[in-house]
Structure formats: structure tokens, C-alpha cells
Amino acid sequence: MSKLPEELIALLHDTGSIKVIATIDGEGHPHVVVKGSLTTLDNETIVFAEGLEGSLSNKNLVRSIWFDKKVAINITKGLTSYQVKGRPYKYLITGSVFRQLLDRARERRGAEADIAGVWVITPEEVRNESPAVRSSLAREERGLFHSHLDLLRHSE
């Protein structure tokens, strides 16, 4: 498994970044939720805590690990943004990583906070979605054809 980009690792560790995960249900309909606990512990895989066994998101993740479906994750702070597509590899209901994320949940949300389990996602595709990076890539590929001309004119 390869290491995630440094910038993405920093975003994953940053408690101020926004982290969301998209899953699909049995009919193929997408479902997106914010996952504040999403992080990396080994700089290779992504982990997050699931709060409820019966949540729609969790059922979709179970379906994904059972029937080999992908999930998509986005991590954003300010103008820096990454998308990761991958597959659920493990669901932890006990053990040291489970405990680590439970402890974090209780630190963040108070002593009454609880989690049902911890998902481990194996990334398969990492994409820098920061607007500046995407624009410059688009310009490299397609030139200036989609730029608004007011942005290209001489300043007066």
C-alpha cells in the first residue's frame, strides 16, 4: 500500500478540516455524510468511527465490504481539497484501533459519547481537488477556451 500525499495527511490530521464520505445504497443512490473522526493512523489507510450500527451510511458500508463496492471521501480546508476513492477493508468492533477512536470521540464530544465500530478504508485513487490545482490542470489540457474574457483583459 502506498503512502498518502503529505498535504492530504496533514489535512486528515487537522481537526479543522471538513471530512465527508459518500456511499451508495442498494439501489445505487448516493448518500453523503460528514465524518469528523475521519483520519489516518498509518499514513496509508483511512479510518473513521461509525456512531450507529443501523445508520444508512453504515449499512451502505457493510454492503460495500460484502459486495465489493467503492466509497468516496472528501477532505477540505479553505482552498485545499482532496478526494479519495477506495474500498472498505475492515470494520473493527473491538481492539486497539477501536479503542483509540472511542477515546478520541469521548475527548471531542464528552464522556457519554459512544461509537459502534471503526471502518478502515483502503485508498485506491487520490485526487487533488483544490480549485487552483484543478484550474491549472484544466488550462494545461484545454488551454484558455473556458476562461471568461474579463479575466483575460488588460487592466485599465
Partner 1 sequence: MSHNQESGVEALSEKYADVPRLIILKLDLQRRGITLSDAAADATCTPYYRGPEVTAFSTKETAVRPLPGPILLRDGTSVLTGPTDSTLLKPYTVDYIDGKFYVYDNGERLDEVDFSPRPEFYGKLTSRGVPMESIAWSRPQRLDLYPYRYCHYWDTREQCKFCGFFTDLKTQKQLAGDSYAKIVHPEDLFETVREAIKEPGRFSQINLTAGTDYSGEVPFENEVKRYVEVLQAIGRNFKTRRFPSQLIAPAYSKQQVKRLYDETGLSSYCPDIEVWDKELFKWICPGKEKWYGRDYWIKSALDAVEIFGKGNVYTNFVAGVEFVQPHGFTSIEQALDSNFEACEYFSKNGVVYLSIVWRPGRGTGLAGQQQPPLEYYVRLIRGLVEIRKHYGLASDNDDFKHCGNHGDSDLERLN
Instruction: Give residues in contact with partner 1 (CB under 8 A).
Output: 26, 53, 59, 62-63, 65-67, 89-96, 98-99, 102-103, 106, 114-115, 117
The closest of 104, 97, 94 to 120, measured between CA atoms, is: 97
- Let me know: does 48 contact 100? Beta carbons within 8 Å: no
Closest contact distance (angstroms) between CB of 146 and partner 1 is: 43
Closest contact distance (angstroms) between CB of 39 and partner 1 is: 17
Closest contact distance (angstroms) between CB of 117 and partner 1 is: 6
Strand partners of residue 86: 71, 123
Which C-beta is closer to partner 1: that of 32 or that of 56? 56
Which C-beta is closer to partner 1: that of 99 or that of 134? 99
Which amino acid is located at 11 in the chain? L
Closest contact distance (angstroms) between CB of 131 and partner 1 is: 37
Strand partners of residue 71: 86
Which C-beta is closer to partner 1: that of 44 or that of 53? 53
Reduced to 3 states (helix: H, G, I; strand: E, B; else coil), residue 114 is coil
- Let me know: does 102 contact 43? Beta carbons within 8 Å: no
DSSP 155: P
Which C-beta is closer to partner 1: that of 112 or that of 140? 112
